[in-house]
A = this chain, B = another copy of it.
Amino acid sequence: MKIVVIGGGAAGMAAAASARRVNPTADITLLEASRHVSYGSCGIPYYLGGLVEDVSRLVTYTPEEFRRSRKVEVLTNSYVKDINVSSKRVVYVSEKGEEREVGFDTLVLATGARPVVPKIEGLGLNGVYTVRFLDGAVKLKEDLARSKRVTIIGAGYIGLELAENFKRAGREVTVLELLPRPMPNIDPELAEIVSRELKKNGVRLELNKRVVGLKGDGRVEKVVTEDVEYETDLAVIAVGVKPNVALAKRIGVELGESGAIKTNSRMETSVKGVFAAGDNSEANHIVLNQPVYIPLAQTANKMGYVAGANAAGGSEEFPGVVGSAITKVFDLEIGRTGLGEEEAKKYGVETKSVLIKARSRAGYYPGGRDLWVKLILEKSSNVIIGGQVVGYEGVWGRIAALTLAIMNRFTPKQLVFSDLPYAPPFNPVWDPLIVAARVSLK
């Protein structure tokens, strides 16, 4: 049996490893267009800020290590030019610039995503970056060393993680956001707390700013919005990613409404024998029971695990996601799961919600910090469909618990009676989650 995996990011590597686990004898080939495989793009902001010194720390396996441990043929700097589905061959340009072919019985498309770049003038100037790949990150870090003022376009996760890290590196940081708030995937009341944290840490956050161009003489000097120009030495575009589906389209793989690849729960595409996984694919949203495009590293790993196993003759199913995500911006932890209130409206789900402020530890125990919990309920069923938590400690655990509560269609009453652990260093005796659930009973 011959399996080809295209892409050496999270999904591709998980797929190859999983295929090997299921099938000890298959020929498995992994093709990666860049020179790195198995890298943690999520770590790039911390590398830029100096928290991670060497970029090699972001790499889990070198091609050689993976080749040896998993018996997978890993071909880096190998760009896929074409796929012939009927003859089951992948045509690629090898490291040495030669056109080669490799045959497959099953194929996994793990082609990832690319940064979205708005159509504006000046994108070709020096000092303009996106953040996604390791080589680009190394170049950006070198450039950062020569730059005093940095402007980030986009106040989502990556934009804000960059803001923190550029401040850590001692830069003057401006963040420009099109929307009236940062962190578009959490609701406005909580985004307000994020805004305060950014300002407290000296980040200039400019909301309602549509960037229309970049100006400069060879190198970027100004980021131009509809009403204001911002002088800068460096600009980073962080407005999101889009699925990399060029190869998929070429072979007639069906895309979903989101523009990402449509798969079933086995990660099979519409083309027989072709699987897809990772940031190029949709996933089933367990609350909505419909496909969504939420490209995240952990999801990519799981999709890869399933796609690879099935490509190798196994039988795995990916049940989908509920939209859990977390980040840390300076001292503030920001987490969300399920549907946000605005998001629910978009999908026509009528909601009610509660927002409470609590403390992270028993009142008498030193070091307790503020913690805000928002619960979002579906009005018709009274089931918890979303949760958002921000605060200075303990956010991961609350989001993890809410994730399982949402996956299991808990009512607030069921959350009240969940046997969450309690001890003074970790929570008040009525945990913030239970307080929020109790308030939502009223």
Q: Do the beta carbons of A299 and B419 come within 8 Å of each other?
A: yes
Contacting B at CB under 8 A, from A396-442, are 396-401, 403-405, 407-408, 414, 416-427, 429-431
Q: Do the beta carbons of A401 and B408 come within 8 Å of each other?
A: no
For A394, what are the chain B residues with a Cβ–Cβ distance below 8 Å? 396-397
For A403, what are the chain B residues with a Cβ–Cβ distance below 8 Å? 401, 418-421
Does A263 reach chain B (CB closer than 8 Å)?
no
- Of the listed stretches A50-58, A65-73, A93-101, chain B binds A50-58
Residue of chain B at shortest CB distance from A367: B51
Q: Do the beta carbons of B423 and A400 come within 8 Å of each other?
A: no
- Of the listed stretches A109-117, A124-132, A319-327, chain B binds A319-327
For A156, what are the chain B residues with a Cβ–Cβ distance below 8 Å? none
Return the contact of A337 from the options B398, B414, B421 (Cβ within 8 A). B421
Return the contact of A42 from the options B302, B362, B417, B430 (Cβ within 8 A). B362
> Do A325 and B421 form a contact, CB below 8 Å, given A298-B429, A404-B405?
yes
Q: Do the beta carbons of A422 and B326 come within 8 Å of each other?
A: yes
Contacting B at CB under 8 A, from A287-335, are 296-299, 301-302, 318-328, 333, 335
Q: How far is the CB of A238 from chain B (nearest CB, A)?
A: 16
Q: How far is the CB of A168 from chain B (nearest CB, A)?
A: 12
Q: Do the beta carbons of A423 and B326 come within 8 Å of each other?
A: yes
For A423, what are the chain B residues with a Cβ–Cβ distance below 8 Å? 42, 325-328
What is the CA–CA distance of A286 and B427 in the complex, to the nearest angstrom?
A: 23
For A325, what are the chain B residues with a Cβ–Cβ distance below 8 Å? 421-423
Does A239 reach chain B (CB closer than 8 Å)?
no
Does A364 reach chain B (CB closer than 8 Å)?
yes
Interface string of A321-355 (1 = CB under 8 A from B): 11111111000010101000000000000000000
Q: Do the beta carbons of A366 and B51 come within 8 Å of each other?
A: yes
What is the CA–CA distance of A286 and B417 in the complex, to the nearest angstrom?
A: 12
Q: Do the beta carbons of A426 and B323 come within 8 Å of each other?
A: no
Residue of chain B at shortest CB distance from A406: B419
> Do A328 and B425 form a contact, CB below 8 Å, given A51-B366, A419-B407?
yes
Residue of chain B at shortest CB distance from A52: B364
What is the CA–CA distance of A335 and B401 in the complex, to the nearest angstrom?
A: 15
Return the contact of A426 from the options B328, B364, B401 (Cβ within 8 A). B328
Interface string of A29-58 (1 = CB under 8 A from B): 000000000001011001100011000011
For A328, what are the chain B residues with a Cβ–Cβ distance below 8 Å? 423, 425-426
Does A267 reach chain B (CB closer than 8 Å)?
no
> Do A365 and B46 form a contact, CB below 8 Å, given A401-B404, A422-B326, A423-B326?
yes
What is the CA–CA distance of A431 and B302 in the complex, to the nearest angstrom?
A: 12
A-B contact pairs, 28 of them (CB 8 A): A40-B362, A40-B424, A42-B362, A43-B365, A46-B365, A46-B424, A51-B365, A52-B364, A297-B429, A298-B429, A298-B430, A319-B417, A324-B419, A324-B420, A324-B421, A325-B423, A326-B423, A326-B426, A328-B423, A335-B421, A337-B419, A337-B421, A394-B396, A397-B400, A400-B400, A401-B403, A403-B418, A407-B419
